[in-house]
Amino acid sequence: MNFRGPTMQTLSDSIRIAAPPEEVWELITTVTSIAQWYDTWEAVDAADHERLRVGTSFRLSRHGRGRDSTALCRVTSLEPPRRLCWVQYGPHQPTMSVEFHLVPETNRAAGTLLRHTRSWIEPMAP
């Protein structure tokens, strides 16, 4: 296997949200809401878990692009209300670490900067 290139090993982005970190944290750690905001996933299944916590496993799924896709995820780190991290893997996808950092904005009332980073753990298939 080959890496596609050094620029593809980590992908980061950030957005500003007009809500305090505690509200953003509630959204991103509520299992049933993950498919509403994370990438293009259509459904999430986490057995009987309502909230993400270290060790929680969940499955993401979507239809389209000529086939159904699934990703299995397991929460590896949680530091309320600032940091959430999970490992994500699935067929035809490289294993990656997905991380969210919430930073309260000091220059805006009740705002949050949400940083999202994906780091590939395994090489991507050629």
pLDDT digits (tens, 9 = 90+) for 20-70: 999 999 999 999 999 999 988 999 998 778 999 999 999 999 987 678 899
* pTM across the whole model: 0.84
Question: Hey, CA dihedral for 22, 117, 106, 80, is it positive or negative?
Answer: positive
Q: Which residue has the higher pLDDT, 81 or 1?
A: 81
- Is the dihedral angle over the CA atoms 26, 45, 77, 111 positive or is it negative? negative
Rounded distance, CA 100 to CA 114, Å?
A: 7
And the tokens for 95? 């294993």
